[in-house]
């Protein structure tokens, strides 16, 4: 980008998140949101020179319904299957990955930073890491997700997800009808192949955001556990999965 930029009037910036929690690219709904909402907003905020704000995505757990590389939807489907079949909510990846250090970023924070970069020329023409401002281990956030579903946890157990998840397609169809959920493509929703790879990551995977803070963006102050639970609530609100917390509240 620096080479292409030489002599040009436009500017650029790149954001490098680890795992994005929110809307992911790859679906008609997301493309419509960018076409009618995000793109006009950024265009309105831009200065006279063209600014191209890009982010280079790594792992994308997200709430979009049929997007790809969508780990949050896998958690949602897997947790729902565990709840409805009375199975312990075990971490289904490599037990090593259960304890490695990772980071993620809420999509709302990522969007705010993209807009911020578009309106701060002194911070442009370079690349930044971005995350919520914390790091986590799955062994720390897993119990919180189990509590959301109302299920018991168990020791990590490596499960061949590309085999396991398709075997439960009929079970999911029953759950969908039972709770009047949206009729979404199960094969896209569970993201077994991607989850299989991501949940077996062999080492720590987190980024330093000091450069972005020094540039002037200082909103990286989100607890990732709260971010994950918040997006599970969004999935339930949108009738993608059953709203187990609301059901427990109604029975109390």
Q: How do residues 100-157 score in pLDDT, each as one tens digit?
A: 999 988 888 988 999 999 899 899 999 999 999 999 999 999 999 999 999 999 999 9
| Region of residue 220 (left: phi > 0; alpha: psi -120 to 50; beta: else) | beta
Q: Which residue has the tokens 């959301």?
A: 148
Asked if 65 and 29 count as a contact pair (C-beta separation under 8 A), the reply is: yes
Tokens at 176, concatenated: 């969908």
- What is the distance between the alpha carbons of residues 238 and 96, in angstroms, rounded to a whole number? 33
Q: Are strands 19-21 and 104-106 parallel, antiparallel or unpaired?
A: parallel
Instruction: Report yes or no: 136 and 205 within 8 Å, Cβ to Cβ.
Output: no
* Strand-pair category, 126-130 with 51-55: unpaired
Dihedral angle, C-alpha 116, 210, 134, 205, nearest 10 °: 110
pLDDT tens digits, one per residue of 161-196: 999 999 999 999 999 999 999 998 898 888 898 889
Rounded to 5 degrees, what are φ and ψ at 7? 80, -5
Any idea which fold 13-243 has? Answer: Rossmann fold (3.40.50)
60/50 Cα distance (integer angstroms) = 27
């Amino acid at each position: 980008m620096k080479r292409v930029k030489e002599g040009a009037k436009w500017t650029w910036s790149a954001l490098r998140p680890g795992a994005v929690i929110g809307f992911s690219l790859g679906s008609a709904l997301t493309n419509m949101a960018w076409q009618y909402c995000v793109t006009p907003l950024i265009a309105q905020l831009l200065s006279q020179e063209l600014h191209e704000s890009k982010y280079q995505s790594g792992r994308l757990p997200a709430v979009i319904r049929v997007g790809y590389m969508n780990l949050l939807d896998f958690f949602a489907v897997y947790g729902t299957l565990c709840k409805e079949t009375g199975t312990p909510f075990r971490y289904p990846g490599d037990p090593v990955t259960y304890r490695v250090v990772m980071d993620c970023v809420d999509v709302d924070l990522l969007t705010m930073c993209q807009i911020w970069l578009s309106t701060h020329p002194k911070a442009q023409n370079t690349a930044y890491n971005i995350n919520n401002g914390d790091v986590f281990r799955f062994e720390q956030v897993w119990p919180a997700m189990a509590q959301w579903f109302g299920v018991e946890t168990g020791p990590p157990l490596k499960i061949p997800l590309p085999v396991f998840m398709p075997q439960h397609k009929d079970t999911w169809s029953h759950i969908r009808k039972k709770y009047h959920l949206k009729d979404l493509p199960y094969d896209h929703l569970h993201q077994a192949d991607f989850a299989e790879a991501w949940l077996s990551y062999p080492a720590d995977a987190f980024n330093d955001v000091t450069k972005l803070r020094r540039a002037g963006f200082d909103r990286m102050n989100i607890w990732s556990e709260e971010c994950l639970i918040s997006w599970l609530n969004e999935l339930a609100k949108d009738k993608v999965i059953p709203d187990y917390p609301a059901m427990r509240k109604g029975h109390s």
